[in-house]
Amino acid sequence: MRIGGGFSRLYGVLIYVSLAVIIIGLFLETYLGGEISEGLMLGGLLIMILSPIVGVVYLALYYLKKDRWALLYSIIVLVIALVNLLYCFGF
Amino acid sequence: MFKFIFVVVLILLIVMDFMYRLTSIVIGFLAGFIGSMLGVGGGFFIVPMIVYFLGVSMHLAVSVSLMCVIMTSLSATKVYSSKGLVDFKLGLLLEIFTSLGAITGSYIALGVEEYILKIVFGLVLSYAALRMILSRTVRERKVKLSKKKIALGSLGSYFAGVASGMLGIGGGTLKVPVMVLLMGVPIRTAIATSSFMIGVTASSAAIVYLSSGVFDLVIAGFIIVGIFVGAQIGSRIGLGVRGIWLRRGFGVLLLVFALKMLFDGLSVIL
């Protein structure tokens, strides 16, 4: 399978999952309100925000034995993202 | 009489709320449609639109915009990668510098006054608008990337990242010209690769805003729904359309917003 095909499918799944969670959250927010709806919307947003990072993990795994330079680039991008994530949430 | 007024006010509130949500979805649709077609995140469109039409603060607009830019990127990359147009290796290399720039930019933005953000945004937006109005079709050509081109591209990508984190844009308005003009990457590959990169860049910056508590779930949610639909349509149309007049027309619209924002920012100082 070409890298584009698998990557496209992965993004497709992530998009639909995050979108479904956000839409359920919005629906509940409109008609019921409360913490559950906020939690769902936040969860959906988090899935969406972290999706590009999941994409880079996929690329790192894809390039593992194929291209060491591309693997190095993806690992550096992941390290930057991880350090940023840990720093922002106070670890 | 009192009951009648109460019911009328209640109906008006519901209608106003409906319009507010409908406006959010329409803004999202247009941003997703135009952004995915031109290989940009659409943040330069979302930020002024929600500042002026939804009346939110500049900091909140930047934060919401970053979250929305990620959805544009995901939707457009899904389509472009299935066609084999994304140069992932180049994207990952440039993304190292762009992510560092995005984190720097978001910390700068959280520490400066709103009017400064408006002035900087107005200037960057003016540049993007003029580039869109004056751009000509670039001929597709394959070139080998030399060390000098990679160094130039990396530097340009860092500043695109700073702009992204600071202004809530995907940075595609800067990344595409960096790849095309400085590195000689074919325009379609540049647009597709930029679509992939803006998601990773915006993700780094959005995490900074999310952890700072500067975001609005409802506005972001409705805009994201609109973006998803707009980006799906825009990226498919973008594969077959040259769209030079669309680019120029949109450039004029952007220039109007840019000047408005620039004058708003300058009016605080003058």
> From CA B127, how far away is CA B227, in angstroms rounded?
24
> From CA B1, how far away is CA A45, in angstroms rounded?
45
* Any B CB within 8 A of A53 CB: yes
pLDDT of residue B9 exceeding 80, the answer is: no
Query: Could you read off the pLDDT of B32-87 as tens digits, one per residue?
Result: 888 777 666 677 778 888 888 888 888 888 888 888 888 888 988 888 888 888 89
CB within 8 A of A60, min separation 6: which ones?
Answer: A71, A74, A75, A78
* Any B CB within 8 A of A47 CB: no
* Any B CB within 8 A of A51 CB: yes
> From CA B266, how far away is CA B239, in angstroms rounded?
40
φ and ψ at B91, to 5 degrees? -60, -45
ipTM > 0.85? yes
User: What are the sequence ranges of the domains in chain B?
Assistant: 2-269
Query: Could you read off the pLDDT of A30-71 as tens digits, one per residue?
Result: 777 778 888 898 999 999 999 999 999 999 999 988 889 999
Of A5, A19, A81, the CB nearest to B204: A81
Residue of A nearest to B77 (CA): A8
A71, A60 contact by CB (below 8 A): yes
CB–CB contact A25 B211 (8 Å): no
Which residues of chain A make contact with B220, given a CB cutoff of 8 A?
A: 41, 45
Most B CBs within 10 Å: which of A80, A82, A86, A87, as the mutation test of the B interface? Answer: A80
CB–CB contact A15 B224 (8 Å): no
pLDDT of residue A10 exceeding 90, the answer is: yes
Pull the structure tokens for residue B220: 């972001």
> From CA B6, how far away is CA A43, in angstroms rounded?
37
* Any B CB within 8 A of A33 CB: no
- Per the model's pLDDT, the better-predicted residue between B147 and B248 turns out to be B147
Query: Could you read off the pLDDT of B162-201 as tens digits, one per residue?
Result: 877 777 676 777 787 778 777 888 877 888 898 899 888 8
* Cβ burial B120-132 (10 Å sphere, 16+ → b, else e): bbbebbbebbebb
Residues 67-86 of A with CB under 8 A from B: 67, 69-70, 73-74, 76-77, 80-81, 84-85
Position A82: which residue type? L
